[in-house]
């Protein structure tokens, strides 16, 4: 991620955070995954990339379900639908 920051590649940085979220989820680090997805989503919002925001919200909802945060998971999946 530091390489992308140094070069000002904001979209690539957000993609990196998204992938870190996916890896964290696979490793069972669910809270870390949610944080990565939220961070990526904020960057995708700045870049006006709604499809990427939708993917972040979708994957974040799955992680939140694993945490038992059903209300937040529902909000995220509905947000993903809005972006589509």
Mean pLDDT of 68-81: 94
Tell me which of 50 and 4 has the higher pLDDT: 50
User: Is 84 exposed, middle or buried, given 0-12, 13-18 or 19+ CB atoms closer than 10 A?
Assistant: exposed
> Which pTM does this prediction carry?
0.85
Q: Report pLDDT for 66.
A: 94
pLDDT in tens, 2-33: 555 555 678 889 999 999 999 999 999 999 99
pLDDT band, residue 70 (cuts 50/70/90): very high
User: Is 37 exposed, middle or buried, given 0-12, 13-18 or 19+ CB atoms closer than 10 A?
Assistant: buried
In this structure, what DSSP letter does residue 29 have? Answer: -
Q: Please count the residues of the chain.
A: 84
| Spatial separation of the C-alpha atoms in residues 55 and 37, rounded to whole Å | 9
């Amino acid at each position: 991620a530091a390489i992308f920051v140094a070069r000002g590649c904001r979209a690539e940085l957000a993609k990196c955070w998204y992938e870190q979220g996916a890896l964290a989820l696979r490793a069972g680090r669910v809270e870390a995954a949610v944080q990565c997805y939220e961070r990526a989503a904020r960057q995708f919002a700045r870049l006006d990339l709604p499809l990427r925001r939708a993917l972040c919200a979708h994957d974040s909802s799955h992680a939140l379900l694993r945490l038992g945060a059903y209300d937040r998971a529902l909000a995220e999946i509905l947000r993903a639908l809005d972006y589509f």
